[in-house]
Amino acid sequence: MELTDYHNIIHSLSERIVQAQKPIRILDALKWDGDIRQTFFKKKFKQLPVVTKDYYETKNPLQFDPMKKIQEFHEIERDIRRTLGQYSGVASIMQRMCHEYIRVVTMLLARGTPKFVEISQELYGSSEDVFHVGAPTLRDLAAVVTSTLVNIKDQVISDADKKIYSSEETVAILGEKLGKYFGNKSKVRVQLSDGILADASAGADKIKIHKGLKFSEREIRVFEIHEGWVHLGTTLNGLAQPICTFLSKGPPSSTVTQEGLGIITEVFTFSSYPGRLKRLTNRITAVNMAEEGANFLDVFHFYREQGLSEHDSYHATTRVFRGSVPDGGPFTKDLSYSKGFILIYNYVRLAVQRGLVKQIPLLFLGKTTLEDIHILADLVEEKIVVPPKYIPPQFSDLAALSAWMCYSLFLNKINLQQLTTDFKAILM
């Protein structure tokens, strides 16, 4: 693509954002070291981990000068306004990204304080947030799903749920599957790691699998879809952008969209399962508990009551309090999965209803944010952004997706409580 002066200006500003965000590694900046875990287990789970504001500053200092980084983003934001104007669509996206990164740095500066929790809720949301006036909250979603899972219990367990694959076997299986999806010439890799908190984690061109664990067929399928098709796919699509290179990187608002896409693609491919839903809704409940004053021990024992091992309960609870202190409120990023799913699902339904179905695949352009899709559609028309190469089949087949959503629009109008009464004789 031959770049015009206008394109070069956008590209230059975009690259400045990409370079400026490089040293900002949110999850790395929030980690607790192994000594915290060892002491917690040594004390037989009866004492709160000793994590304070000073702990973050001395044991896990930021790898950049936060004040200089904030100033750098202010300067980029100023130059965007001066060169592209206040009302340019692409400028509005880049300015919002600068603002979010400034808030991220401010949040990291506030590790171990109440302000950290406050900014976390601003960026990722709260369990008490509603989606429109009078709508239920994420906490309500967790309650509904949890009660439903109790009703089905072990009725849906099969051989696919047995954890029979070692982490090494999982790496091999996943590598073969992703090779077929992305093409064997792609540089996508799958490798072992003992430095991640999650079972699997996607980077720019690779997926890390937690070393030393066992995985089921269903879990491997979720890794393929969520970490592979969605996270790696959108990264590769973003890296393929010749002008808007910022689409390869994502601030917190894109995290909500990314995780939502991951969950909805799991659902659309029939890859999700009750155990997966329980894990996601437990995260909502745990965050809600911490928002209401529960401490690390309270949440740890909640996870133990859910059947998790002591090891898994510790790591699940650490996800809630990382960046904060053990009795100081949660880091709310784990709400992104369920919050993003609800937002994406309803966006897709509305896009079909309003005849905007061709915009749906644009969700996979890169690290997109839902509110920017209408702008990105214009940028594709202007050939400033190139369409995504890697789109899950369930989203590239717009005819099938539209049929599903047309029925969904009607089914949403049916009163389930009334059906419960009417179907009573059938459901006995």
CA distance 77 to 68: 14
Per-residue pLDDT of the chain (428 residues; tens, 9 = 90+): 456 899 999 999 999 999 999 999 999 999 999 999 999 999 999 999 999 999 999 999 999 999 999 999 999 999 999 999 888 999 999 999 999 999 999 999 999 999 999 999 999 999 998 888 888 899 998 898 888 888 887 788 888 889 999 999 999 999 999 999 998 777 888 998 887 777 888 877 889 998 988 999 999 999 999 999 999 999 999 999 999 999 999 899 899 999 999 999 999 999 999 999 999 999 999 999 999 999 999 999 999 999 999 999 999 999 999 999 999 999 999 999 999 999 999 999 999 999 999 999 999 999 999 999 999 999 999 999 999 999 999 999 999 999 999 998 888 888 777 777 877 777 66
pLDDT one-digit tens code per residue, 320-347? 999 999 999 999 999 999 999 999 999 9
User: 3-class DSSP state for residue 395?
Assistant: helix
Nearest alpha carbon to residue 17 among 79, 97, 125: 97
3-state SS, one letter per residue, for 332-366: HHHHHHHHHHHHHHHHHHHHHHCCCHHHHHHHHCC
CA distance 211 to 309: 17
Amino acid 428: pLDDT: 62
What is the residue type of 139?
A: R
Residues with Cβ within 8 Å of residue 1, at least 6 apart in sequence: 7, 242, 243, 383, 386
Phi–psi pair at 209, nearest 5 degrees: -110, 130
Q: Which stretches of 27-176 are assigned E, i.e. beta strand?
A: 165-166
Bridge partners for 350 per DSSP: none
Amino acid 3: pLDDT: 65
Nearest alpha carbon to residue 295 among 330, 326, 331: 326
CA distance 43 to 309: 17
pLDDT one-digit tens code per residue, 279-296? 999 999 999 999 999 999
Per-residue tokens: 13: 């500003």
User: Model pTM?
Assistant: 0.92
Per-residue tokens: 303: 């996870």
